[in-house]
């Protein structure tokens, strides 16, 4: 009778099954990879907003912009609060404020986003006024086309309403009309944009300390 060696007993380093059935391990690996791929395929893809879409929730009730553009950009804009972004904040060094208004340029799948930035260096919180010198920039998002004034000598804004919104944290509702005596030249091209009057109602937060609207305004 053969004497059983201790190395043959299970639990004492016995590894016969690890080498006698390699197909079993391969099957387990295949099953794991299949389950992982299935899980990943069920994960929702991040939504891609259509061209020209904006964050509609970023504007206030009553927000709007109306203007007829000619020249390098031809469009009749009549943006309402539900389809536009409106925000504003103080300019650097406590020199006035700037207002950003964005909305659709065009329709359907061909629509782009147009951003209009007004820099008013002489504006103060809650104050209205006529013929306030204004720096104007138009940005056709996604195309690299920029239009703007080199200074505040050719555009002016009549601020007709500028009131603190009750219950807000420093938000003001601001309304007015913008006039430009000269076309806005394309900053990186040869065309220009003209308009006679731009009317708007937007939001301006005088308590914000940082700006993402560009240090040049």
Q: Which domain holds residue 183?
A: 56-205
Query: pLDDT at position 64, please?
Result: 97
Q: What is the pTM of this model?
A: 0.72
Cβ contacts of residue 80 below 8 Å, gap of 6+?
A: 63, 64
Is there a domain that residue 61 lies in? Answer: yes
Total tally of structural domains belonging to the chain: 1
Higher per-residue confidence, 50 vs 158: 158
Is there a domain that residue 102 lies in? Answer: yes
Query: pLDDT at position 156, please?
Result: 98
Is there a domain that residue 121 lies in? Answer: yes
Query: pLDDT at position 158, please?
Result: 98
pLDDT in tens, 69-104: 999 999 999 999 999 999 999 998 778 999 999 999
Is there a domain that residue 35 lies in? Answer: no
Average pLDDT over residues 186-191: 92
Is there a domain that residue 152 lies in? Answer: yes
Is there a domain that residue 51 lies in? Answer: no
Is there a domain that residue 136 lies in? Answer: yes
């Amino acid at each position: 009778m053969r004497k059983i060696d201790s190395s043959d007993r299970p639990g004492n380093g016995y590894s016969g099954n690890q080498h006698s059935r390699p197909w079993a391990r391969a099957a387990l690996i295949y099953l794991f990879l299949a389950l992982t791929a299935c899980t990943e395929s069920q994960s929702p893809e991040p939504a891609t907003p259509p061209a020209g879409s904006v964050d509609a929730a970023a504007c206030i009730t009553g927000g709007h912009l109306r203007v007829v553009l000619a020249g390098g950009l031809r469009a009749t804009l009549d943006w309402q609060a539900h389809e536009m972004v409106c925000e504003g904040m103080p300019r650097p060094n406590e020199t006035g404020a700037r207002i950003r208004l964005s909305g659709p340029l065009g329709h359907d799948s061909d629509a782009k986003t147009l951003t209009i930035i007004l820099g008013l260096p002489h504006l103060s919180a809650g104050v209205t006024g006529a013929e306030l010198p204004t720096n104007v920039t138009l940005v056709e998002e996604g195309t690299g086309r920029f239009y703007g004034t080199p200074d505040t000598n050719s555009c002016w804004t009549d601020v007709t309403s500028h009131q603190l919104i009750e219950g807000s944290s420093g938000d003001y509702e601001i309304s007015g009309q913008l006039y430009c005596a000269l076309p806005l030249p394309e900053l990186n091209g040869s065309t220009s944009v003209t308009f006679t009057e731009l009317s708007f109602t937007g939001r301006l937060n005088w308590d914000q300390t940082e700006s993402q609207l560009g240090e040049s305004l």
